[in-house]
Structure 1
Amino acid sequence: MLSFPILGERMAKRSPFKDLVEGTGKSKVGYGKIRFCGRQAANDGLQYFWVDTCCIDKSSSAELSEAINSMFRWYHDAAKCYVYLSDVSVYGSVEKDQVSQWRWKPVFRKSRWFTRGWTLQELIAPASVEFFSMEGERLGDKRSMEQSIHEITGVNVQALQGSPLYYFSVDERMLWAVRRETKREEDAAYSLLGIFDIHMPLIYGEGRKKALKRLKNKIKKSLEDKPPALPPALSSKHEDAFKCQEAEDAPWIVPFDRNPHFTGRELQLAKLREMLSVGRGQTTKVAVMGLGGVGKTQLVLELVYQIREEHKNCSIIWIPATNIESLHQAYVDVARQLSIPGWERDNANLKRHVQGYLSKESSGRWVLVFDNADNIDMWMAKPESEPGSGRLIEFLPRSKQGSIIFTTRDRKAAVKLAHWNMVEVPEMKKEVAKELLQKYLLNLELTKYPQDTEALLAELTYLPLAIVQATAYINENRITLADYLYLLADQEEGVIDLLSEEFADDGRYHNVKNPVATTWLISFEQIRHRDPLAADYLSFMACIDPKDIPQSILPAGASRKKEMDAIGTLSAYSFVGRRSADQCLDLHRLVHLATRNWLRTEGKLTKWAAKAVARLNEVFPDADHKNRNIWRAYLHHARYVFESCVFKVEAVDNGALLWKFGMCVHSDGRYSEAEKTFSQVVGIRKRVLGAEHPDTLTSIGRVAWTLSNQGRWKEAEELEVQVMETRKRVLGSEHPDTLTSMANLASTYRNQGRWKEAEELEVQVMETRKRVLGSEHPSTLSSMANLASTYSNQGRWKDAEELQAKVLQICSRVLGSEHPDKLRSMANLASTYSNQGRWKEAEELEVQVMETRKR
């Protein structure tokens, strides 16, 4: 008897018998596998090898029938079976001498070879089965990998070890094949002839059901002829096992047609397929999560249609889980369509009936989708109104042939339902969003202006739901993209109206609102019910800028843990993103808009805007340079509050925040913005305190200060004269505030080159401060420095030097050698020396100032 190996391979890109006879097969991809088999046989010292596709003339029905009926025996008698896995690579990114099992084993478990009908006998019949990668590297054999193969295929380990197949019941052997597929439908039966030691003629064209029926009759006859001493191979579940195999089209319970406009998401589809294909010996659970409107439902819908195309015998069941009512109604429909016995008589236990049905191995492969599983309480809480009933999560079916997919907006729900198996759906990439826009537009000419297209997609945040809604409005009203952009630039209420427009969408539930502005309402309510602090944070953030939100600006919670949980809840719903670099939060722009609409509808927007002002006033620091990093992070949030349509400029409580804001933006050199802010403060203080109140006069002085810094000397002068004269009358000519206003006016004169007028005022201020405050008071020293500056501007170097030297001497004695004011006075004196050509003296002072400031 000849000793020869057999090549086991997947039914793809094979080199058939005719090609080899005519010599035309060498250029085909499959020919490489034949070369491999020849080389490996030679390496193993075998003279001949056999490959079914090139050793059987399939054009001859007699030869084909004989070969199929003899195939199991041929595999059994072969010296070895080489399994060439064209979809398993051992290398990837590593060098050839660094082959690691951890790289190829996950891919090995997902190989399509384990899903084909004909490969079952290739696995079981031969005594020796060796597996090879696409590079021809040996991965192992059936004996060394039997546990992994058992987990992947469900085939009993004893069967893999060579125990006679009649030791295993018909049910068990049928279940080994139930998840496998064949290219020709009749082969679902013909590929099992050897597994059951049956011979019968092939009748291609009879169909799957008839072929399996003939096989079943042959098995029954065979069992009747067996001696009773042999182990019983036919159980009471025999009919169920065959019923599963006979099903040409398994149940399809999906409420939506396929979306012809589905676009992109290749990465997420591939990841889902990968997760669903990994055999773990238990039910696979996967959660698809992302922001409402990002396209989770459409992604899973496309996935199940793809699965259906490839696996006709896989049941697909879709259950909307928005609320308990929709879920119950879906279970009724599922029980009816699956013809589950007794469900009508025991309606209260519907979930248990469906669970039991799908948990049977005879139910075959199935995918169960729970869409919109956002309310985790619905899954985890035990219903109080139904005594004896369990939690919804406890009614999930369990079967190693089944997969459960949840779609949810809530990452926390995703973790509890599917643990680590999650696929996050991010916002669309720009090019994919553009493709989606084009698919939905009736007039493609509208996209010929790239700037309008890109601007519109950016405004819609590349959110699929917003894009579909926009195109519906554009198509219906026959407007351009620029027209829609113009509408989006309207006042907030107008934009809300636009984004609240209902539109036809066959891919969404009829009882659920689909516009962007309302799609998150259910999420808002869930958050408010489950995590009140998270709802408060969302309301607060809706009243400030949605970008770059420091966590320190949020209102304090009952504990740090409560605060972290609240932020986690908003992150779980994809409402906010957390930046690892600075721990700032970003609230999705359309969620921000929708939340404001929600608050306005609830009559709470004004209340939360006031809370935002109060909190900002509480955390906003003074304009000191050392606080610059803090107040710069808060500025744009205060600005957003001021520009809000609900901000009341005249409110007394708002004046304090306006003042802090003005001081900070002035310190940052944004004088025009400071002018506007201080003017608002003036208006509040005039109304509340009166036109001559000291605080009112101070705020007018700040307006003049900003005008002066903008070079608007005349306007500044007018205000400063007004303040000075009023303070003289109200406070007295020697009051510190009066002297400050005189000094400010002198500075304005100096900036205009009006040296004499400036000098007169500065001398008056200096002398008065010496008498009232003392010659060493900081304000007195400041006035002396200002007068010295005026002398310098007139070229009166000696007068300037004398005053500056005196200021420096006092600063050194009173403030210390390293005080900023002392260093400033040294720098001023050095400048005066320099202007007189006294370079050495100037240099000595400048070096001393520089080294001290460095230190």
Structure 2
Amino acid sequence: MRLLYFDGSGRLAWTNFSQKTIPPYAILSHTWGDDEFLFEDLANGTGHGKAGYEKILFCGEQAARDHIQYFWVDTCCIDKWNLRELSNAINSMFRWYKNAARCYTFLSDVSTPMADAHLHESTWEASFRKSRWFTRGWTLQELLAPASIEFFSSDRQRLGDKDSLEQQIYEITRIPVTVLRGDPLDKVSVPERMAWMAGRQTTQEEDMAYSLIGIFGVSMEFRYGEGIERAQERLQEEMEKANTAPFIVPFDQNARFTGRESQLAELEGKLFVGASTTKVAITGPGGIGKTQLALELAYRIRLELKSCSVFWISTSDEESLYQSYAHIARRLNILNEKADVRKLVQIHLSNKSAGHWLLIFDNMNEAQAVGLMEFLPSSAQGAIVFTTTDRETAAKLAPRSIVELPEMEQDMARRMLETCLVNPVNEKEKVDLLLKRLEYLPLAIVHAAAYVNVNKTTLQEYLSLLAKKREGSVEPLYRKSENIIAATWLISFKQIRRHDALAAKYLLFMACVNRSDIPLALLPAASSHEQGRHAVGTLNNYSFVTKRTAESALDIHRLVHISTRNWLRKEGLLSQQSQIAIRRLLVVFPHNNHGNRSKWRRLLPHATFALSSGLTGQEHSHESRNKWRRLLRHAKFALSSGPPRKELGWRCATALYNDGRWKEAEELFVQVMETSSRVLGDEHPDTLTSMANLASTYTNQGRWKEAEELFVQVMETRKRVLRDEHPSTLTSMVNLASTYRNQGRWKEAEELNVQVMETRKRVLGEEHPSTLSSMANLASTYWNQGRWKEAEELNVQAMETTKRVLREEHPDTLTSIANLASTYRSQERWKEAEELFVQVIETRKRVLGEEHPSTLSSMANLASTYWNQGRWKEAEELFIQVIETTKRVLGEEHPSTLSSMSNLAHTWKSQSQNTEAILLMKKCVKLRGKILGPLHPDTESSLNFLNMWQMDDLELGT
């Protein structure tokens, strides 16, 4: 839970209490306006001029008057670009309001012109009774959850609380007084609780159901676009499921599902057999109905085996995968923010007490299969089903149980078409001819039926359209069976262009970004919210898009995406449309700032796709999870096409860099640098900055000589062009010092760092973030030389100031804490070091991710403190985890990987595993000699230990 507070300087700050006891806090209840203070404003220190910021100030100041330090406001305490956080927050909201020490309701439409509101109640009571706050859906739980609520006017005048205004609130809401006083909600009947929503409204119609989850004590996924009726049905289902085996499937059963009986029987016959988990893979080309088959299987298993838990896991991207696991963990009541939810679910389901369960992984690919294997549960009572278009992936996941979907048979296809059509058709010959032309492909049938339904046309008219489109007017796809999709797509698209220009505009835009998780906020602006909703509805009616759960976002089917791109290319519009997408991305894609991390992570796939859009031969390659480097290798074409592409490439590169994806960042920085050099010249500040950024990626990859050469070049040029004390010149000197330090040239590093720190203090001030960074760098050089007292003093000063200036979760603050922990460890203050390292790890995991290099570095440091305390088993487990992840993320020869190898060897030696320790240290010495050079201090240290251990072995006669 993220809480706000005002720091010692009176500035708004925040801290996250997810890993520690939550202190008393106040909470704000209000209605949203058009100019709210959002999470991005909070994280970036902006937005203080917004109208919504006044409510933040009011809540904080009122909390202070009530002697409460921390407070929570929904507009800015939830990172809504982080789907994991958003889902957890919505499902936790009722509890957060219930547990608040104080709840303040700010009524923006109630004013108190008189100074003493209590003595002149008549002046505000009428507007109080008519306040919009009493008409909104989400404020119902905010009225019921807290033990007490205080109401304030827009003038910040206290009007009373839930007790003193009890009669008025009862008359407005008709909620029984006993409930307002705190009687348990489960004592009130379900119909009566439902009736409390009468007359209330929500912006999204589905929120009329979603806002009731806390009142009924359930959690559920959010599927905006499903409609109010289905949302209410699912709410009812969740209430009924509360005491039954979990059934977590994000889609309704397809009432139009037909056929595939033999495949269903085959699948059911393969499940729950043998002495271990049964694994089955469903494979076949795109559009043939794999997902629908798995969905039908899930519902049939539920019907036949009511005690069986069924879990659906979407694998369209890493975030969807994690969200699915988190939802399962939440439903099983095993969610623990300190542990990997994938591991929690695996352990739970592997236990016999979990009973029967079925896991369905939808839309798997080869890259996901490799990373997922270690998180699959194992139990004779369990079964796992995968769907994939790739036969090789299917063979890896379930080598002995593969179900291949053949083309639909005629009778099956006929039943499918009949169920999809709104109006029955009695023309059997026309039906059979249409199905033949559609090659019995399920997706093509769905598209054709959607067109007929929307336009109220006949099958004969559709056949005529289809015949025209099949006469060479559509560019072919890779698979012959998929070509028909291009034809059905074109028929529908031409109709959309004629009748809904905005829907067509949206579709063309989406063709130039990644096809998964397209936020509605990314789409081109519409003249009104209603017009945008209508356009999305049009695309949905034609079965071109599907709406994502838990967030306002869209997905496009792979073949629809390809068909749209083919049309753009054929019309000569792909480059132009890609430019439109890039310009829109520049409006939405955030600048390099710690607080924008969630936003850039969701937009990166779209930005990198847009940068590569229009490249010959690249249109069909984006399905692979290894697409990133292929896209980035072709960025030269993209970045050379104009300033917008160059700017977006720059933002993508800095985002990748900050997420520790240095190889990908390197490839983009190379292209940005070459473009800047060609267009602006070698000595232009932008060119020099690009060179410096490229050199930084070399540093982080352990390529210190290459980094040094570039940094020297940049520093010398900046000194000449910008002068010695320019901030950019000083930054170059710092970067060069870091390469010296990494090469063990500590005196040279120290001299540069001292020079930079003193200059920055004079030019920028002692509390400037750059000055604090210089102090930390100098402290590191002291530490490398064993001057730990000096290092400690500087680190303490840097940490305390950084906390105050940049906030507790800022990456620079975490680096300062980690540096201080290292100095404690060097002084054998193990417990103090351990506590700080644990704090840094937990925060970095949450903020940066579990596989970020900085997180791994923290884990390695914690393992070292365990080793220093003789807790070798704990150290060994952490070092092994770090080595395996570092190898995958940074490579086997990266200096960080080698450091972890050396540490693990020491751990084995401490446990008398001499042979294993010597073999690993030999490998480490060889690789360090190759990568760092034979004279590097780390190489020499490893060699010395190896020689010592080998001598010990000789003396022991082993």
Q: Same fold (TM over 0.5)?
A: no
Shorter-chain-normalised TM-score: which range?
0.3 to 0.5
Q: Which has the larger radius of gyration?
A: 1
Taking structure 1 as the reference length, the TM-score comes to 0.42
Taking structure 2 as the reference length, the TM-score comes to 0.37
